[in-house]
Structure 1
Amino acid sequence: MRPLYTLNLAMALLSAAACLSLFPGTTAAQDVTFMDAAPAVTAEPGAPAGRARERSVAEISESFEGFLTPRKPVVIGLLLDGPALREDPTERYQAEILEVAGKSFDIRFVRREADWTMAGVDAALDGMLSDSGMDLVITLGMLGSLQACQRGALPRPVIAAQVVEPRMVGLPQRDGKSGVRNLAYLAFEHVVQRDMARFLELAPFSRVTVLVNGLLAESITTLRESLVRELATMGLTAGLVAVGEDPAAVLAAIPADTEAVYFGPMLNLGDDAFAEIVRGVNARRLPSFSLGGPADVRAGVLATLHPEGEARRVGRRLANNAYRILSGTAPESLAVAFAHEDAFMVNLETARTLGLTPRQDLLGQAEVINEEPQTAEREYTLAGAVREALAGNLDLSEKDRELRAAAQNIPAARANLLPQVKAGSTYAAIDDELASAVQPARAWTASITTTQLVYDEMAHANVEIQKRLQAALEHGREGFELDIIKLAAEAYFNVLRAKTLEGVQKSNLRRTLANRSLAVRRAELGVSGPGEVFRWDAQAAQNRIEVVNASALRRAAEMQFNRVLNQEQESFFILREQGLEGEPAMDAGLRIARRLNDEEQARQFRDFLVARGLEEAPELRQLDEAVAAGGRLYTATKRKYYIPTVGLQWELKHKLDTAGKGSEGGLQTMIVPGIPDNSWTVGVQASLPLYAGGKRKADRVQARESLEQMKIKRASAAQKIEQRIRTAARNTAAAHANIGQARAASEAARKGLELVSDGYGRGVLNVTDLTDAQTAALVAELGAAGAAYQFMLDLMELYRAVGVMEFLEPASTLCPEE
């Protein structure tokens, strides 16, 4: 057996040497520097970009089975203050400890829960400390951590994982270490001051109430006094409310004159009780800030500075300390300071409830949730947005008015073919010397004249031409309606795309801030210099600019959407996310894309789309009517050479009065009759110009050339429509194919970034490696985020080119289901 063991050991050493050779400058003789960076994670199939699956305790333990070097068995006790009422990070801590120390130690965990009472926590801690089989005790709750730190020298190693503001509560500390035998702890220092400084930027106040776990407040008799003194240095008047199990009692204890509420540690409350307190605070319109982190903000607290993954970072620090203690390092010699990592989060729904409008520069630094109200009077699907645009768009309304106005050209042209009746009255006065019975000196008559155009070629042609031109305008209106449908759909997708891209930029900013925190810890440990921190500061500033620009683009897209729908341009609305799979509006589009990407049938399908488009195109029907109108005008100009204009006129005249010379009766009127009391005339006129100076020929030639021009224009339009359809079909196929490629690129870049981030956190890769990987991930993520929307936009262009808006039809006509 000895030779086999020697061979196996040699192989293990060779493998270790090969692993070390992966990192230039690292040798087996060098010390390993442990950092609070998160460990590498593996991607879970189907997980969203930027997320990954954390390895479970069982998976990590299994990976160490059969490890060649015998591992020393150890027992680590995990003490909780009570049953987890909210998030329980225990398994995360165990996984981190196994990740770091599992290669050297065969670890067994013993978990014990107290009963959320000081006596219960004391008894559980006594039991663990008196257990001779316990190699290390980790107190995971604030009560247990406080009790461990207040006991003095301990019989066995203890790590207190939750110590907030140790100086404020009078916990031991000497040269950045506990200085107490067998005691190590994680100190979250200056947390309250930091939170309050940011809180004051969000909502100015001078009187604040701090809510803390009632048992914690009882255990630390100096907590109230220390808290009041500390916040007084910031110009604040502070009060403390001990939180028990009754939310109503907590709300009643908040003073009436308080102006803000700070949520301290309250892990003894369940989610429902906590949410009830938050609702009560918000109902009193009191701004709030939480020490608890993002979960509290999602429950309705206004803001927090504490990061989402704090449990992982704490777990990594516990793992490093546990490894060093189990390896022989004295707990009291370990540094207690735990570096802050800011992750500003703001709940804008709460801000709206409180009537607050946070500054844009603050929001640019924050992860914003509930940026839009959860409900709105205006909520749209794609089809709903298009229908509202058709009902209210001003450009379409203008086109309708234009159409109705132009429709009057037809009756105006037809009027020339109908009888024209007019009434008139004439009063005439002449010199007496010229007057006679035929024309008295004064005469007043009235008449009614009727004219009827029996036939006129241009008048008849004009009626037909106006009908054709009106039909052309109606087809033009159909095309304009399709343009509005496309415009509304594009505005819809542009808003969704802009929101998505804004989210990507915000995520990238959070990633930069997390990397900055890594750089701070690297500088503290001497792995790098302060220049790296400044580099990340510059990167964060640039990322904030990109977030602001992305937000401006989103606002512009929203205003465009409102304008198309004829709504107040800065009014709020909600758009339903339009996915690709399982959406009726997109099902036909996906079938079209799949056929266009099938080489065997793509050409035939494009030909079909072209034929359908040429058949449906309102632009061609509009030009067809214009060609017909031009043809009728050309015919009329030729007929003018040989068809006369014929008209009929009839007039009835009545004498109203005469006066002066010639108006008297007598011999003269007996010989020459005067003006009769009533008279009428009837006449028929026919005219045919024999020579008009060449105008008829000029009109005929002009009409002929205009007709030929219109025919050529129609043929050109058909070519352009065909080109538009074929181009849109190619673009749609390419955009659909690009979706998968963009997602694959984003996933690969994300995995690469995770590996580089882990290497950077462990000190084996430099800042340039990480910035390059982050930039690549950002570009890929932006591409993946925009790819689906680009496909939808290209699909809308294809629908418009063909002239059929499939997503508004009850059933697909371009690509029906098989």
Structure 2
Amino acid sequence: MLISQYNPILYESDSAYLCYYRAGLFSYLSVRNYMKPIRALLLFLFLPLCVFAGEKKVNITAVFDSYGDSVAADLWAQVISETRGLLNEEYNIEFSETYIAVETKGKKRRYVDKINEELQKADVDIIITMGALVSDAASKVEKPSKNIIAPIVIDAKLQGFPENKSKSGTIFSGRNNFTYLTSYQTVQRDLGAFYEMLGFKSLLVIVNKNITSASFFQRLRKYSEKNSIFSINIAAIEDESDIEKLDLSVADAVYFTPLGVAEETKQILIDKINKAGIPSFSMYGKSDVESGVLMAATDNDNNARLARRIALSVQSILSGEEAAYLSTDFRKEFELVINMKTAAEIGFYPNWELLAEAELINADRGRNFPDMSMRNLVDLAIKNNLSLESAGIGLKMGEENVSSAAAKLRPKVGLGLTEVRLDEEHVSPFQYQNETRAGISIEQVVFSEMAWAGYSTEKLLQKARSEEYKSYKKDIVYQAGKLYLTLLQIDSLKKIALGNLKITKNNLRLARLRESVGYSGRADIYRWQSEVNNDRKELAQIISAYKQMLIKLNAVIGADQEKEYNLQEPDKDGSFPLLCNGKILKYIENPRSFAVFRDFAVEQGLESSNKVRQIENTVAALKKGLLAVKADRYIPNIGIKGEVSELLDYSGAGGQMLLGKDETSWNLGLSVSWDLYSGGSKSADIRRGEFRLHKTMVDLKAFKEEKSAQIRAALQKISGSYPAIKFSKDSALAAAKNLELVQDAYAKGAVSVTELIDSQNAAFVAEQAVVKSKYDFLLDYLDYQRAVGVFSMHFSKADENSWFVRLNSFFKKRGIDIRR
């Protein structure tokens, strides 16, 4: 058995590297039976020297495709870290880098030439090719004089990498001093998956001009010829001039292979493809998707695992293993990654299955959602809420009630035109048979207790209606703020659920690896597959809850019901200034000061309560009305009325006594009236008014007590939810550390799948508790603000200072001087 048959992902801790090394070394000594006595003797003689030497110098050189590849640079940094951690006690390792200059143009063989150049250097012991192009070129060096590790392979079969298989099934290069790593990811597999998602007719495959494998192009074209569903065109690029000439009209989909160009150059290509509205798929993985490629199939832990595997390959070579016989198998679990921002830009909308399966990048910015802060949301609610607008119209209607009551106290002026026709039998000397008369009348209430009381009452009732409107306005502010915070909470829970799903998928991957080396059976895999689907179900429910809450929020602010936003954290946008600056905490840091603060809050809440003022105005109106009903028994209603008329025309018989007289007439009258008896209705009105007044005064007292209790309860709730934030964070940290330990133990076969699931669930619940405690506290604080009727989100600095001046004054009256 070769050392390479051990799967490196099972050896994640530093202590396990030694187990791997020892097992591999003795296994290697056993593969050549005829050398067994000699190798055993060498091991006996020299292994102690290896242990104590520890200073053997080794030079490792990395050859990069080009400058500026941050992914390759990050991988190389991890390779250095892993290798040093694994071998520093045995070797003095020096690392160096060399790059194939992007500016250099020439024959395709320049990559091979560069590798041969490095092989000739005396100070180079091992070459690691840190790019797809140099790895491809390394496979064409037929007799390398020094060890080469080629870890970045596009498609081993398509590129013609050397491949041999042992009787046990291990695949190795068989070429002296050469090994590579392949996940057996194939271009055909990628293209098949890409086609299944988009159903394109013509595909453009983009490669680097310097790919040295003629077989790569030949086999790709053969694949195109065999494929009757879509055609394949190949475009080879190297620099920006090639990108400018690139004709995208020949394809309705694009497939990226590793290009080995500078990131700026690649970004120009990606932007051009997206601008053309063409969907793209990258073989390189997540980094390309983050740069704007639509999608890729990637292993999220690829760099860490790959760096570790490269380090183990270096260890195997230094321990005497022949590179030609190292396993090239580096299997990976692939997961689809989609850039939702790119999807929106090109008009691609993933189906529900894809959204559930894939990792979504820029999911919240996919459609360029507008930014929304809590303060902005509240402003929109006040401006656009239809219920509040309706309440405002009702308030204006109340103003007209006041005007109607006032009208009863103002003069009433009338204008009339009278036409009279009499038969001859009823004609008199004082009236013409036919006459037309025009007149104007005026009527004025001199005194009426009920009319004056009605006017005064309506004014008080209008004040009550105004307070009711202000109270409802605060309800809308509270409702909008509560929906905003709840939406943020659900969004945070969604992110945690996504992270938990990712962990579960990683554990499923680990279970498959455990099963492959005999640590566990298929039962673990089935259990993790069940957990993955359970996590997906929970995630779907959270997303559904988010959408429902979003609809409610949009209804409050009068926006399109499914409009989405980039929500800002309220502790960052100044929505809670009294809370975020921390000044308020010193007023509630001990039981005594907290009790005084509760008294202050009650006083402030009762003073600012619109409901209290509404009931107080109602009480005043009822008192006024009751007094008027009682006085109406004894105080008369006094009024005057006058009229002036002009005879415009007359004819017929009669009117003899009017001939020659003034045709203008007038009259003026004074009326004084009492309702002496109305069947007992006045007494009933008085009794009903007294009961109503008494009931309203009791309601006022009850509401004040209820408001006081509401404020105190809100503050007591905050006293519990605020410290819960720290407790939940500490709990989550402990649960995360426990999960890390249990995962490591599970990888080594020390614990069961049930223990790992329990540990993961505990960590998941603890992380959820962190989010819930944070937003529960903010929601409790919002409840407190609504209880006292003061929202500080629109406080100016002067308002804030004034509030603290009043608070300090209240504390001083209670004998507490807050000086800090």
The TM-score with structure 1 as length reference comes to 0.84
CA–CA separation in structure 2 for the residues paired with 1:709 and 1:141:
85
Code of the residue aligned with 1:122 in structure 2: it is I
Matches within 5 A, 1:236-385: 236-244=230-238, 246-254=239-247, 256-267=249-260, 269-324=261-316, 326=318, 331-373=323-365, 378-385=370-377
Code of the residue aligned with 1:634 in structure 2: it is L
CA contact 1:345–1:367 (8 Å) conserved in 2: yes
- Residue matched to 2:740: 754
- Residue matched to 2:767: 781
- Residue matched to 1:800: 786
CA contact 1:457–1:639 (8 Å) conserved in 2: yes
Q: What SS is found at the alignment partner of 2:200? A: coil
**Structure 1 stretches of 5 or more lacking a match?**
1-30, 42-66
- Residue matched to 1:108: 93
CA–CA separation in structure 2 for the residues paired with 1:471 and 1:763:
76
Code of the residue aligned with 1:242 in structure 2: it is A
CA contact 1:34–1:320 (8 Å) conserved in 2: no
Q: What SS is found at the alignment partner of 2:765? A: helix
- Residue matched to 1:61: none
**Aligned partner of 1:730 among 709, 716, 720:** 716
CA contact 2:80–2:95 (8 Å) conserved in 1: no
- Residue matched to 2:69: 86
Code of the residue aligned with 2:98 in structure 1: it is E
1:233/1:473 Cα in 2 relative to 1: closer, same or farther (>3 Å)? farther
1:796/1:569 Cα in 2 relative to 1: closer, same or farther (>3 Å)? same
1:786/1:405 Cα in 2 relative to 1: closer, same or farther (>3 Å)? same
Shift of 1:795: 1.9
CA–CA separation in structure 2 for the residues paired with 1:205 and 1:229:
19
Deviates further, 760-769 or 425-434: 425-434
Shift of 1:111: 3.5
Code of the residue aligned with 1:207 in structure 2: it is S
Shift of 1:370: 2.1
1:122/1:452 Cα in 2 relative to 1: closer, same or farther (>3 Å)? closer
1:478/1:80 Cα in 2 relative to 1: closer, same or farther (>3 Å)? same
Count, aligned residues: 750
- Residue matched to 2:635: 643
Shift of 1:460: 0.6
- Residue matched to 2:610: 618
Q: What SS is found at the alignment partner of 1:577? A: coil
CA contact 1:634–1:700 (8 Å) conserved in 2: yes
**Aligned partner of 1:663 among 651, 654, 671:** 654
Shift of 1:84: 5.0
Q: What SS is found at the alignment partner of 2:9? A: coil
Q: Note if 1:177 corresponds to 2:171.
A: yes
Shift of 1:800: 1.8
Code of the residue aligned with 2:654 in structure 1: it is S
**Percent of pairs identical after alignment?**
26
- Residue matched to 1:191: 186
CA–CA separation in structure 2 for the residues paired with 1:110 and 1:213:
28
CA contact 1:339–1:521 (8 Å) conserved in 2: no
Deviates further, 431-440 or 713-722: 431-440
CA–CA separation in structure 2 for the residues paired with 1:619 and 1:68:
86
CA–CA separation in structure 1 for the residues paired with 2:665 and 2:573:
86
Q: Note if 1:221 corresponds to 2:204.
A: no
Shift of 1:195: 2.4
Q: What SS is found at the alignment partner of 1:417? A: coil
CA–CA separation in structure 1 for the residues paired with 2:611 and 2:723:
31
1:68/1:144 Cα in 2 relative to 1: closer, same or farther (>3 Å)? closer
1:37/1:119 Cα in 2 relative to 1: closer, same or farther (>3 Å)? same
CA–CA separation in structure 2 for the residues paired with 1:777 and 1:493:
24
Code of the residue aligned with 2:12 in structure 1: it is P
Matches within 5 A, 1:380-399: 380-399=372-391
- Residue matched to 2:750: 764
1:173/1:586 Cα in 2 relative to 1: closer, same or farther (>3 Å)? farther
CA–CA separation in structure 1 for the residues paired with 2:438 and 2:502:
93
Q: Note if 1:204 corresponds to 2:199.
A: yes
CA–CA separation in structure 2 for the residues paired with 1:753 and 1:99:
24
Q: What SS is found at the alignment partner of 1:685? A: strand
Is the helix fraction higher in 1 or 2?
2
Q: What SS is found at the alignment partner of 1:36? A: helix
CA contact 2:112–2:137 (8 Å) conserved in 1: no
Deviates further, 299-308 or 691-700: 299-308
1:480/1:369 Cα in 2 relative to 1: closer, same or farther (>3 Å)? same
- Residue matched to 1:165: 155
Shift of 1:205: 1.4
CA–CA separation in structure 2 for the residues paired with 1:490 and 1:285:
40
Q: What SS is found at the alignment partner of 1:211? A: strand
CA–CA separation in structure 2 for the residues paired with 1:765 and 1:153:
47
CA–CA separation in structure 2 for the residues paired with 1:81 and 1:161:
12
CA–CA separation in structure 2 for the residues paired with 1:191 and 1:734:
57
Shift of 1:68: 13
CA contact 1:114–1:120 (8 Å) conserved in 2: no
CA contact 1:177–1:336 (8 Å) conserved in 2: yes
1:377/1:208 Cα in 2 relative to 1: closer, same or farther (>3 Å)? closer
Shift of 1:750: 2.0
- Residue matched to 1:24: none
CA–CA separation in structure 2 for the residues paired with 1:90 and 1:573:
39
Cα displacement string for residues 329-380 of structure 1 (whole angstroms, at most 9, x for unaligned residues): 5555543222222232211221222122222321222222222448969433
CA contact 2:380–2:557 (8 Å) conserved in 1: yes
**Structure 2 stretches of 5 or more lacking a match?**
15-48, 102-109, 809-819
CA contact 1:649–1:683 (8 Å) conserved in 2: yes
CA contact 1:101–1:322 (8 Å) conserved in 2: no
1:748/1:794 Cα in 2 relative to 1: closer, same or farther (>3 Å)? same
Aligned-CA RMSD value: 3.4
Matches within 5 A, 1:643-722: 643-657=635-649, 663=654, 665=656, 669=657, 677-722=663-708
Q: Note if 1:126 corresponds to 2:126.
A: no
Q: What SS is found at the alignment partner of 1:113? A: strand
1:775/1:255 Cα in 2 relative to 1: closer, same or farther (>3 Å)? same
Shift of 1:463: 0.6
Deviates further, 700-709 or 357-366: 357-366
CA–CA separation in structure 1 for the residues paired with 2:523 and 2:543:
30
Code of the residue aligned with 2:9 in structure 1: it is D
Code of the residue aligned with 1:95 in structure 2: it is S
CA–CA separation in structure 2 for the residues paired with 1:785 and 1:748:
16
CA contact 2:465–2:614 (8 Å) conserved in 1: yes
CA–CA separation in structure 2 for the residues paired with 1:299 and 1:406:
60
CA contact 1:516–1:533 (8 Å) conserved in 2: yes
**Aligned partner of 1:540 among 525, 532, 549:** 532
Shift of 1:465: 0.3
Shift of 1:469: 0.6
Code of the residue aligned with 1:720 in structure 2: it is E
CA–CA separation in structure 2 for the residues paired with 1:516 and 1:252:
45
1:806/1:589 Cα in 2 relative to 1: closer, same or farther (>3 Å)? farther
CA contact 1:512–1:539 (8 Å) conserved in 2: yes
Cα displacement string for residues 86-140 of structure 1 (whole angstroms, at most 9, x for unaligned residues): 231123123334555667x446244453536424433255247x87x94x66444
CA contact 2:721–2:773 (8 Å) conserved in 1: yes
CA contact 2:63–2:99 (8 Å) conserved in 1: yes
CA contact 1:749–1:777 (8 Å) conserved in 2: yes
Matches within 5 A, 1:425-574: 425-429=417-421, 432-438=424-430, 444-574=436-566
CA–CA separation in structure 2 for the residues paired with 1:34 and 1:327:
18
Code of the residue aligned with 2:171 in structure 1: it is K
1:688/1:159 Cα in 2 relative to 1: closer, same or farther (>3 Å)? same
CA–CA separation in structure 1 for the residues paired with 2:127 and 2:582:
58
Code of the residue aligned with 2:202 in structure 1: it is R
CA–CA separation in structure 2 for the residues paired with 1:517 and 1:597:
49
